[in-house]
Amino acid sequence: MSAEVDTVGTVHEAQWRDCIAAVSAPARAWMTEVAQRHAADLANAFYTGMLKDPEARNFLSHEEVDQRLHASMQRWILDLFGNWEPAQVPRQVAAQRAIGSVHARIDIRADLVMRGARLLKLRSSEAMLSDEGEVPMSVRVAAALSAHALVDIAIEVMSAQYVNAHEMAARTDEAYRTFASTMNMSLERERQRTALLDWENNLLHRVMSGQPEQLLSQLSTSTFGLWVRHKASAIFRQSEGLKELLDTIERVDELLLPPCQQALETEDSSLQRHLRALIAETAHLRALIDALFDRIIDLETGRDALTQLLNRRFLPAVLSRETELCRHSGHGYALLLLDVDHFKAINDGHGHAAGDLVLQHLAHVLMANVRSGDSVFRYGGEEFLIVMVELNDQQALQVAEKVRQAVTAEPLRLADGQHLPITVSIGVATYDGHPDYQFLLERADRALYQAKHGGRNRCVLAKPAHSPA
């Protein structure tokens, strides 16, 4: 997917350069001047038109959205109509892609974005054609047409990224539904381990029975081999582990079975040596199967291998769903972002194995202190994230304090009998109506930063986004 996006991005950069190269110097100067004079008016016209749609008001009427987007829109207009450096094109294309990702994340309709673009082209053309100044009409017309072209290419880049991000979100959401329905990959792993063991036992039985006229069956034609060729590629896709699995099966059939067969027929003393080599390869196959299934169980089911908590794979799906529920129900939700205090010192002083035990212990404590409707994620490293539903500011802070105290009250008992005290710093942020959950994550992160730099082992509630710092 990333290679495809990079290729599309390169095409867009070339088109953007062609677009600005076609604009004459007088038209560039006039576009820049009009943008500087009318950026605020153009942004106001853009959002006034958008707010006429009832659905758009769900995204744009929030106070912070209004404040942020109005200023951002002005900067976008100034950059689009006033930046003519070819070296800046990759940055400009990347900026449009980022906007497209945000549109997908908050699920704003593409037709609303297109409507805004149409209004922007209309108002910018009016300004360029009717504004004061001694600029020839031919230059004004050229500037207005160029403005249309620049808006179109910018919207095209946004739309391409919107489609990619929206499709990815849809696939992730579908995978989350699969996770929720408990697809049993562990059972499939055991089934294939058993199939491989059956082939190995059958091989040893034929050898021990001393019937050289019976050919040893190839691994590739066994139940296990057929599954690898016809089913494993669909499950594991084209991973390196799958290639090694196929190569090992081929090595067994082509290099190890023939000498075993020959030694069996001739009653050669090398038979035991050949059998040991073959059994070593089947042990390697079992290890490969375990590794491949472990990876797919951890990644495809969205579970962290160390702590067995959810990993970040399904965080967008969960937060998008909670945000949508809040829009309709009015019930808020909260994020508790936790960080283990002095985790590096734990690793340095007691070893990384002890650090892993701390994370597993903390996961257990967190799960014991949340409700069934809440979700607990291993956010990354020594950070954890709890999504707590239907809580206001003070309730969320109380729960965070309860969690902090529970962690402090349960030190980890190490193998040597030591009790290792653990504390956490917690940043708390509650949903405030902003349609993009990324801002909620950022508020929780800032609150966590305040907790850590305020002395650690404490909880800090994030201020509302519109409050002064």
Could you tell me the pLDDT band of residue 1, with boundaries at 50, 70 and 90? very low
* Predicted local distance difference test score (pLDDT) of residue 131: 65
Segment 447-460 mean pLDDT:
96
- Gap between the terminal Cα atoms of the chain: 40
Residue 406, pLDDT > 90, answer: yes
Residue 236, pLDDT > 80, answer: no
Closest CA to 257 of 285, 222, 218, 294: 218
Strand 424-430 versus strand 459-461 pairing type: parallel
Could you tell me the pLDDT band of residue 266, with boundaries at 50, 70 and 90? confident
- Record the tokens describing residue 165, joined without a space: 């991000």
Q: What's the pLDDT tens digit per position in 327-376?
A: 877 788 999 999 999 999 998 988 888 999 999 999 999 999 998 788 99
Residue 275, pLDDT > 80, answer: yes
Cα(170)–Cα(173) distance, integer angstroms = 5
Q: Which residues pair with 386 in a beta bridge?
A: 336, 376
CATH class of 312-461: alpha beta
- ∠ at Cα 300 (295, 302), nearest 5°? 100
Could you tell me the pLDDT band of residue 267, with boundaries at 50, 70 and 90? confident
Distances (CA, A) of 236 to 180, 288, 290, 378: 20, 12, 12, 24
* Predicted local distance difference test score (pLDDT) of residue 175: 61
Q: What is the CA radius of gyration of the chain?
A: 31
Cα(165)–Cα(422) distance, integer angstroms = 39
- Record the tokens describing residue 69, joined without a space: 């987007």
> Using an 8 Å Cβ cutoff, are 1 and 168 in contact?
yes
Percent of residues, the chain, with pLDDT higher than 90:
46
Residue 106, pLDDT > 90, answer: no
CATH annotation of 2-180: 1.10.490.10
Q: What's the pLDDT tens digit per position in 145-203?
A: 999 999 999 999 998 888 888 777 766 665 654 554 344 677 888 889 999 999 999 88
Q: Which helix (H) or strand (E) segment is 97 a member of?
A: helix 89-106
Q: What's the pLDDT tens digit per position in 41-90?
A: 888 888 777 777 777 766 666 565 566 777 888 999 999 999 999 999 99
Q: Do domains 2-180 and 312-461 have the same CATH topology?
A: no
Distances (CA, A) of 432 to 69, 360, 366, 465: 17, 32, 25, 8
User: Where does residue 459 rank: exposed (0-12), middle (13-18), buried (19+ CB within 10 A)?
Assistant: buried
**283 or 317, greater pLDDT:** 283
Sequence spans of domains, the chain: 2-180, 185-300, 312-461
Cα(362)–Cα(376) distance, integer angstroms = 11
Cα(425)–Cα(407) distance, integer angstroms = 10
